[in-house]
């Protein structure tokens, strides 16, 4: 596929999606969300894609926020539509049954921070900087930043960073659980790729189940414990379960069919 705001490349089932707007520090515009929605639809439906790495072009920015010039003259209804559309795309990332790993290089601010938080895992370079500076513009985060930041770093810390608009440097982000690992810039993609390959070598059915169960913890009106019981039980009726347990007893590596 050819896109205006992103580049895609697939190798051994690992799809790398690169936000390609370096002249605007990879700021996220409506075109990006439209194209990202198309990519995620393919990720869900294409059996050849086993995992996704999401990153930004260049070393300065993963995504330095939303494209302010695009929406600065929007009215109330346009603002709500903008937010709802962003929520839908980021939800599709968070709920994706295949692992989505953010390789964060440089600024991940505003919408960029929200995009990274929707991914299942975050690997950062030492120059990565996270933050939700929206209050500086007279607006709140619009792509679930107020929700996911709490989930990752806790209410007290989230309140502080959301209200002060202070940046979070890579080491601090690691300490508070906002990122999983920090690696040098030249190792960022290879590290994300290795992690994606490792996860992709496991049972696709079980990985999808883990995503479903973990997300259930935060879902309104859903009992996460009951969800785990349901997902666990359903695994017993899958080919992956039969292959995994058989391979274990035969002392060999499993070859999961993903069914």
DSSP state of 140: -
Predicted confidence (pLDDT) per residue in 56-96, tens digit: 999 999 999 888 888 889 999 999 999 999 999 999 999 99
- Distance separating alpha carbons of residues 97 and 47, to the nearest angstrom: 11
Q: What is the pLDDT of residue 149?
A: 98
How much is the pLDDT for 71? 87
Tell me if 168 sits within 8 A of 161, measured CB to CB: yes
- DSSP 8-class letter at 207: H
Asked if residue 12 has pLDDT above 80, the reply is yes
81-86 contacts at long range (C-beta below 8 A, 24 or more positions apart): 82/30, 82/142, 83/142, 83/143, 85/30, 85/33, 86/33, 86/111, 86/114, 86/142, 86/143, 86/144
By annotation, the residues acting in catalysis are 114, 134
Q: What is the pTM of this model?
A: 0.95
Taking only the tens place, the pLDDT of each residue in 94-116 is: 999 999 999 999 999 999 999 99
CATH superfamily, with its number, for domain 6-200: 2-enoyl-CoA Hydratase; Chain A, domain 1 (3.90.226.10)
Residue by residue, DSSP assigns 38-54 as HHHHHHHH-TT--EEEE
Q: Report DSSP state, residue 185.
A: G
What is the C-alpha to C-alpha distance for residues 181 and 88, in angstroms, rounded to an integer? 27
The β-bridge relationship of strands 14-19 and 51-56 is: parallel
**CA–CA separation, 258 and 242 (whole Å):** 11
- pLDDT tens sequence across 127-151: 999 999 999 999 999 999 999 999 9
In angstroms, the first-to-last Cα distance of the chain is 27
| 31-34 CB contacts, 8 Å cutoff, 24+ apart | 31/4, 31/5, 32/5, 32/6, 33/85, 33/86, 33/89
CA distance 256 to 94: 23
Q: What is the pLDDT of residues 181-212, one digit of tens each?
A: 999 999 999 999 999 999 999 999 999 999 99
């Amino acid at each position: 596929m050819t896109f205006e705001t992103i580049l895609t490349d697939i190798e051994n089932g690992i799809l790398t999606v690169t936000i390609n707007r370096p002249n605007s520090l990879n700021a996220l515009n409506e075109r990006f969300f439209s194209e990202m929605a198309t990519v995620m639809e393919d990720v869900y439906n294409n059996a050849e894609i086993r995992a996704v790495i999401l990153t930004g072009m260049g070393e300065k920015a993963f995504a330095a926020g939303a494209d302010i010039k695009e929406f600065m003259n929007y009215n109330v209804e346009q603002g709500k539509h903008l937010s709802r559309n962003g929520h839908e795309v980021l939800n599709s990332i968070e709920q994706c049954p295949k692992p989505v790993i953010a390789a964060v290089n440089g600024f991940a601010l505003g919408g960029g921070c929200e995009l990274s938080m929707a991914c299942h895992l975050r690997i950062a370079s030492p120059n990565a900087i996270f933050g939700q500076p929206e209050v500086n513009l007279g607006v709140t985060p619009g792509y679930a930043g107020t929700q996911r930041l709490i989930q990752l770093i806790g209410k007290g810390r989230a309140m502080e960073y959301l209200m002060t608009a202070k940046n979070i440097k890579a080491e601090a982000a690691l300490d508070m659980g906002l990122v999983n690992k920090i690696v040098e810039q030249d190792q960022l993609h290879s590290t994300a790729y290795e992690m994606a390959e490792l996860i992709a070598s496991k049972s696709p059915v079980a990985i999808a189940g883990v995503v479903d169960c973990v997300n259930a913890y935060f879902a309104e009106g859903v009992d996460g414990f009951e969800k785990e019981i349901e997902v666990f039980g359903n695994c017993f009726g899958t080919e992956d379960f039969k292959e995994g347990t058989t391979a274990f007893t035969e002392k060999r590596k499993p070859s999961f069919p993903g069914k």
